[in-house]
Every structure is written in structure tokens, then in C-alpha cells.
Amino acid sequence: MTMPTPQCPWRMQVHHIRQETPDVWTLSLLCHDFYPYQAGQYALVSIRNRADVLRAYTISSTPGVSPFITLTVRRIHEGEGSNWLTREVKRGDYLWLSDAQGEFICADKATECFLLLAGGCGVTPIMSMRRWLAKYRPQADVRVIYNVRTPQDVIFAEEWRDYPVTLIAESAGVPGFTEGRLTREILQQVPDLAARTVMTCGPAPYMAFIEQEVKALGVTRFYKEKFFTPVAEAAASGLKFTTITPAREFYGPVGTTLLEAMESNKVPVNAACRAGVCGCCKTRVLSGEYSVTSTMTLTEAEMAEGYVLACSCHPESDLVLA
């Protein structure tokens, strides 16, 4: 089986698939080589073993603890990657993964006091880190708060019985759950909150609320992982972007990234990590002013030809794109 792209050099075989909730599945993968990763990281997956369709998924397993490499995937309507992984991929099939990526990890945090908060499918890196802390820092004081819509939406439901966790469901009505949403009052009940390292993953509004509240309550060590990036509505004015092939014009507000402008106008662009790491969103700028915050994976020759990583490109004038 030929490697589809050098970005995904790790071939893994599906050992089994487990349904977690009505719309979430965990794929357990066998890797015949040592696959280095840290709890909380993600990997790019070559969808349908194609070089031009890569998607990022958290590695929900835990190094040194889990017997398999696992990906826990929520099926999203019209999501090319999630539908392939949860509908078509079967036991015995092969997947190609990238090296593990991302800096949302707990192993480098010099503290013994954590508060981990997850919203929905954002629990995947949180569970990975919770297992790691239990094995490698058993003396650590770890509190977990997990928010879901209904009790049936709890991912890793059986495994949470092994760890203290506060479960919050918007509609509960069953024992073991706090009904409603996360509030400042719930956060204030966490012992020694201001002294804790707080780490959260989930929808952007959820993480924004947590960041605002915990910082107001004295937390100074706060880390978040953006689980998904909402696409903004297309702008009718602002910076103008012109593509040569095919020929079209579209706009993006001042302060947007090139990737955000392209996605909001439904311009085809491949994006995975959105952090200037994976190189998927490489785009050529023919003219215009811009600054960049990452050039990882780009060669000197490519940069000389005007290639940028769209997620890390900040337009400063109208741009013409190849």
C-alpha cells in the first residue's frame, strides 16, 4: 500500500470500532512501529487515502496506558472526513496518519494541581490527559468538569467511573448530573481554583466563557485547544482578494487571515491544523502586502515564489492569488 502523502507516513490498521454515543465512534488502530505522541496531541488523517484531503483528529488514547492508538470522531453532517471514518471504514482497513502535532499537552506543566474542562467532543484530549496524569502523576490533584447536551452524549461514559468528574447536562433529569450549563458558581466550588492549571477544550463560545470566568477568579495558568473553527459569513467589503484560476473576486475584513477569508467565501482550501504546522493550506500569493506568523513546511524556494500558509498569513492590502 503506497503512502498517499509524505505528511501522513504512519500506516495503521483498524483493530475495532466502538460506538460511544449516537453520533460518536472510537476507532482503535494498530501501529506496528512505535508511534511517538503526547497526551492531548492530534494527528492528520489522510481521508480515503488521498493526498489532497487531510483532516485533524485528536488522538484520544494515552501513551503508555492505552493498548491502541485511538481516534474518537463525531459524525458531522456533510463532513467528508467524519462520514468516511464512521460510515465506511471497517475493521481491517488501513489509515494513514501524520506525526503527532499540537502543544495542548499536560506533561510539560510544572504543577500538581489541575482543572480540566471539556465541552462535547472536546473531551477527547481531556480524557487522554486524565489517564496520563493518573498513571504518571498519581499524586496530582485533578478535577474534571464535563459539559454535554444530554446524559446520552457522554463520551467514554464507562471509563469516567474510574475518575472523579462533575457531569453537567443541559437536559439531565437523571442522578449523577448537574442540570443546566457551566456557571461561575460551579467554578467557584472548585477548591483552590486560582492555584490550578486550567486546561479546556470544546466549542469556541464555551472556551471563551471559561477563560473570562477563571481569569476573573484569579487563575493565571490557562490553556485552551480550539476544537473547531466556525466559518464567518462572507464580507461585502474590506480587503479584496482576486484569484486567477478560476477568476473571481471576494472580500475579507481587515484583520482576517487569508484562510478565514477563503473559507468564508467558499474558496476551496485544504486546512487541518490551522496553526501553521501541517502545511495543508499552502497558497501562492502573486501580489500584495502581508505578514506571516509561520512558515513551517515551506521551503526557501516556495517562499521566494510567494507561497504562504493561509492560516498564518495576515493580509495588509488587497491580494492576488494564483
- When mean pLDDT is compared across 36-40, 230-234, 311-315, the lowest value belongs to 230-234
pLDDT tens-digit map of 243-298: 998 899 999 998 889 998 998 898 888 776 676 767 778 999 999 999 998 887 88
The domain spans of the chain are 10-97, 113-226, 239-321
Distance from C-alpha of 307 to C-alpha of 283, rounded to nearest angstrom? 5
Instruction: Name residue, grid cell 466559518.
Output: 231
Q: 10-97: CATH homologous superfamily? A: Translation factors (2.40.30.10)
Grid coordinates standing for 267? Answer: 474558496
Taking 90 as the threshold, does the pLDDT of residue 50 lie above it?
no
| DSSP conformation class of 231 | P
Instruction: Name residue, grid cell 481491517.
Output: 92
- Who's near 6: CB < 8 A, 6+ residues apart? none
Do 113-226 and 10-97 fall under one CATH topology?
no
pLDDT of res. 67:
96
Q: Residues of 98-127 as b/e, b for ≥16 C-beta within 10 angstroms? A: bbbbbebbbeebeeebbbbbbbbbbbbbbb
Taking 60 as the threshold, does the pLDDT of residue 227 lie above it?
no
> How far lies 284's CA from each of 21, 265, 309, 318, in Å?
41, 17, 9, 14
Rounded mean pLDDT of 179-203? 95
pLDDT of res. 203:
85
Distance from C-alpha of 26 to C-alpha of 77, rounded to nearest angstrom? 18
pLDDT of res. 77:
81
Taking 70 as the threshold, does the pLDDT of residue 229 lie above it?
no
pLDDT of res. 195:
96
- Averaged confidence pLDDT in the chain: 92
pLDDT of res. 272:
66
**What 3-state DSSP class applies to 94?**
strand
pLDDT of res. 225:
84
Give the confidence band of 230 by pLDDT, cuts at 50, 70, 90. low
Distance from C-alpha of 65 to C-alpha of 214, rounded to nearest angstrom? 31
Rounded mean pLDDT of 196-208? 92
The pTM of the whole model exceeds 0.85: no
Q: Does domain 239-321 have CATH number 3.10.20.30?
A: yes
Residues forming beta bridges with residue 19, ordered by sequence position: 25
Distance from C-alpha of 41 to C-alpha of 205, rounded to nearest angstrom? 22
Rounded mean pLDDT of 49-68? 90
* C-alpha torsion sign, points 144, 145, 149, 151: positive
pLDDT tens-digit map of 129-165: 999 999 999 999 999 999 999 999 999 999 999 999 9
**113-226 adopts what CATH topology?**
Rossmann fold (3.40.50)
Taking 80 as the threshold, does the pLDDT of residue 168 lie above it?
yes
